[in-house]
Amino acid sequence: MRHLLSAADLSLDDALLVLDTATELATVTDRSVKKLPTLRGRTVVNLFFEDSTRTRISFEVAAKRLSADVINFAAKGSSVSKGESLKDTALTLEAMGADAVVVRHHASGAPHRLATAGWIGGSVVNAGDGTHEHPTQALLDAYTLRRHLRGGSGDLAGLRVAIVGDILHSRVARSNVLLLRTLGAEVTLVAPPTLMPFGVETWPCATGFDLDDALDGLDAVMMLRVQAERMHAAYFPSTAEYSRRYGIDARRLALMPEHAIVLHPGPMNRGMEISADVADSERAVMVEQVANGVSVRMAVLYLLLGGQKEGSP
Ligand code: ASP
């Protein structure tokens, strides 16, 4: 595979290869010298047209641990803010010899355009496009679920996961539904009717509107951020009403089996989709998700850039 644009690009074997490679590469993080020479001489460009904290830093750390050269290209402060098009930006990157372009864009489909228009020769990795997809987030979530609930190997057959909240504006939800299904998990989306996407009945998952009803028997719950910046209408009456019906708090945590864990892609709205005590509880794995993100992104860059040909970890 040359690009990673959608979680749907990954077959079960591909997904397991990424997760297994990430498990191997995670051992690098535990060493005192946290570097492998694998991508020495390769250039990875982080092309971010939208704000990001975790994802951009995570890709940067991942590329650097594999000894790649990293160029961070933020749209703010570049000629993009003067109106330079995606095409001209891509041609500039190509002239600089980018082997991989990690792109985040506010328009759904921008990474796909970059990969298929013939403007650049390197690999394109989708780091979040509009409300469409965020495949490396789904991979790091699957990695985290596998580590906690499956002993760190194999698929996720039979695992019961609910994804809760602002599904309508979430690229994390779509990528997770696709990847978790590929890995054999059973996914239920829970949201107010106003935040359920049009056509959701064609997605490979169940849907529900009542969070309390969904919690019994779950292995994990994935809370989504309410994406106020993408909301141009009133989707629910108030924050208090939203968190009362769709937020996770200590009472709801107690309705889940004791082994069940809570995930959130970040950034969290504490007091909205997640209460502070749940966010800080031992069953919430957000900090670990961030650490796992580095290993998974190392694996993606390693596999896409053909690192395995030049010596395995
Ligand atoms: N960080 C994730 C994303 O970029 C989730 C979020 O922003 O709520 O999609």
Give the pLDDT score at 306.
79
134 labelled catalytic: yes
Query: How many structural domains comprise the chain?
Result: 2
Give the pLDDT score at 312.
44
CA of 266 to the centre of ligand 1 (A): 6
Q: Are residues 103 and 201 in the same domain?
A: no
Whether 313 is covered by a domain: the verdict is no
Cα→Cα distances 290→89, 117, 148, 261, 287, Å: 29, 32, 15, 15, 5
Q: Are residues 15 and 31 in the same domain?
A: yes
CA of 161 to the centre of ligand 1 (A): 19
Give the pLDDT score at 100.
97
Whether 86 is covered by a domain: the verdict is yes
- Does position 309 have pLDDT exceeding 50, yes or no? no
For the ranges 61-65, 76-80, 215-219, which has the lowest average pLDDT?
A: 76-80
Give the pLDDT score at 311.
42
Whether 2 is covered by a domain: the verdict is no
CA 225 to ligand 1: nearest atom? 8
Give the pLDDT score at 310.
44
- Does position 58 have pLDDT exceeding 90, yes or no? yes
Q: Are residues 157 and 281 in the same domain?
A: yes
For the ranges 37-51, 71-85, 192-206, 216-230, which has the lowest average pLDDT?
A: 71-85
Give the binding-site residues of ligand 1, using a 6 Å CB cut-off: 128, 134, 171-172, 225, 227, 265-266
Confidence category of residue 262, pLDDT binned at 50, 70, 90: very high
Whether 268 is covered by a domain: the verdict is yes
Cβ-based neighbours of 186, under 8 Å, separated by 6 or more: 158, 159, 160, 161, 205, 206
Give the pLDDT score at 29.
81
pLDDT in tens, 286-299: 999 999 999 999 99
pLDDT in tens, 9-56: 999 999 999 999 999 999 988 888 889 999 999 999 999 999 888 999
Residue 115 CA to residue 192 CA, distance in Å, equals 35
Q: Are residues 95 and 186 in the same domain?
A: no
CA 224 to ligand 1: nearest atom? 8
Confidence category of residue 258, pLDDT binned at 50, 70, 90: very high
Q: Are residues 115 and 213 in the same domain?
A: no
Whether 312 is covered by a domain: the verdict is no
CA of 268 to the centre of ligand 1 (A): 9
State which of 170, 174, 263, 273 you would mutate to test the pocket of ligand 1, scoring each by most atoms of that ligand within 8 A of its C-beta.
170
Q: Are residues 147 and 123 in the same domain?
A: no
Q: Are residues 206 and 176 in the same domain?
A: yes
Q: Which domain holds residue 166?
A: 135-286
pLDDT in tens, 148-178: 999 999 999 999 999 999 999 999 999 999 9
Query: Which is more confident, 157 or 96?
Result: 157
CA of 113 to the centre of ligand 1 (A): 21
Q: Are residues 56 and 175 in the same domain?
A: no
Mean pLDDT of the chain: 94
Give the pLDDT score at 307.
56
CA of 279 to the centre of ligand 1 (A): 17
82 labelled catalytic: yes
Mean pLDDT of the region 184-202: 97
Pairing verdict, β 100-105 and 69-74: unpaired
Q: Are residues 120 and 28 in the same domain?
A: yes
Q: In what order do the strands lie in the sheet with 100-105?
A: 69-74, 43-48, 100-105, 123-129
Residue 267 CA to residue 53 CA, distance in Å, equals 9
Instruction: Spot the catalytic one: 65, 105, 112, 134.
Output: 134
Residue 305 CA to residue 303 CA, distance in Å, equals 6
55 labelled catalytic: yes
Q: Closest by alpha carbon to 252, among 127, 156, 165, 122? A: 165
Mean pLDDT of the region 258-283: 97
Which CATH number fits the domain that encloses residue 95?
A: 3.40.50.1370
Whether 30 is covered by a domain: the verdict is yes
Instruction: Spot the catalytic one: 38, 55, 89, 144.
Output: 55
171 labelled catalytic: no
